[in-house]
Chains A and B, each alone.
Chain A
Amino acid sequence: SSELTQDPAVSVALGQTVRITCQGDSLRTYYASWYQQKPGQAPVLVIYGRNNRPSGIPDRFSGSSSGNTASLTITGAQAEDEADYYCNSRDFSANHGFGGGTKLTVL
């Protein structure tokens, strides 16, 4: 399955901007999707494709990609954004994979 690498933890001051990254060879060809998961809840899709947000996701969430790295940026982080974030993508065999997750702390 797709091998994706994320930093285990990131912190951001309230109202500041934070970038969460995901690295993997498959990202040179395929887009990553990003999921937010809060304790005891199912994951929620926040970014997919080039930079698309599902209905209901605030526009402070955005996505980008360069080379083998995909990024999720939160511009003006809020307390409710504190959560685990996972990237996902397919590989060249059409298998999927998730990154190891990044725990975001909002200070």
Chain B
Amino acid sequence: QITLRESGPTLVKPTQTLTLTCTFSGFSLSTSGVGVGWIRQPPGKALEWLAVIYWDDDERCSPSLKNRLTITKDTSKNQVVLAMTNMDPVDTATYYCAHNTYYLGNNHFDYWGQGTLVTVSS
């Protein structure tokens, strides 16, 4: 049974760096075709894809946020970490991590964490 859980601060100040950890179980990030992604959702707004990292260490970040995002994995700890620099109130959102299945050039997010609300405020 695959589970994912996001953890990190619920409140950050403007200009600070947000670091979120996704701790998962039920799969290995060293298995071919597996990835873990981050998606966020501001209150009342749409989902926004942020980043994904794959079993083969390939990683992709949203072009609009690329300069602010870093995604890393620790396979031995079953964790994926997302860092976002220079936080702003507009970054207030629920942040989700999700298991990604990659096959034949397509992928989908088939298991999601419950999400963690991060508020950016001084």
Residues of A within 8 A of B (CB): 1, 30-31, 33, 35, 37, 42-45, 48-49, 54, 86, 88, 90, 93-101
Q: Which chain A positions have C-beta within 8 A of B63?
A: 1, 93, 95
Q: Which chain A positions have C-beta within 8 A of B60?
A: 93-96
Q: Which chain A positions have C-beta within 8 A of B114?
A: 42
Q: Which chain A positions have C-beta within 8 A of B103?
A: 49
Q: Which chain B positions have C-beta within 8 A of A95?
A: 49, 60-63
Number of interface residues of B (CB under 8 A): 27
* The one of B37, B39, B62, B110 that contacts A54, using a Cβ cutoff of 8 Å: B110
> From residue A68, how far is it (CB to closest CB) to chain B in Å?
16
Give 28 A-B contacts (CB < 8 Å), ordered by A residue: A37-B47, A42-B112, A42-B113, A42-B115, A43-B47, A43-B96, A43-B109, A43-B112, A45-B108, A45-B109, A45-B110, A48-B106, A48-B108, A49-B108, A86-B46, A86-B47, A88-B47, A88-B108, A90-B107, A95-B60, A95-B61, A95-B63, A96-B49, A96-B60, A97-B49, A98-B39, A98-B47, A99-B46
